[in-house]
Amino acid sequence: METQSFENIVMHSLTFSERKIICWLIAGKVGFNDYLYNIQRSDSPDCIWCEEEAVEHFLIECLRYIESRRSWWTNVQELLPDINVLSMSMIQFIIGDRSWKPDFSVK
């Protein structure tokens, strides 16, 4: 039996709607002001709290959500101690990394 990548395990465990949201996040086509401004649905590309509101800003940089991210990072670090969460790219943050090896295989 071939072991699937972490990415495949995670993506296949999601519902269709959840996978669609992940794809939108990766493509940057979600309801953040940066995207809405580009399609002329917002007057400004900026976050109402700080700077340009794009996916990466919202998930990794926005000061408004720093405490939520700190809690999330702490939990991830406890679950995956070998992963350096502070050096993760946005794609790794959203869907994982093919080099991560789970303790089980999926048929």
**Is 34 part of a structural domain of the chain?**
yes
Query: How far apart, in Å, do the first and last CA atoms of the chain sit?
Result: 7
Tens of pLDDT, residues 53-92: 888 888 778 888 889 888 877 887 777 677 776 677 767 7
Question: For residue 27, what is the DSSP state?
Answer: H
> What's the domain count of the chain?
1
Q: Is residue 100 part of a domain?
A: no
State the Cα–Cα distance between residues 49 and 43, nearest whole angstrom: 15
62 within domain boundaries: yes
Tens digits of per-residue pLDDT, 81-100? 777 766 777 677 666 665 65
pTM score = 0.54
| Average pLDDT over all residues of the chain | 76
* Structural domain includes residue 17: yes
- Residue 12: domain span: 6-95
If one counts every other C-beta atom within 10 angstroms of the C-beta of residue 57, the result is 20
106 in any annotated domain: no
CB 35 within 8 A of CB 28: yes
Domain contains 102: no
What pLDDT, on the 0 to 100 scale, is given for residue 40?
Answer: 92
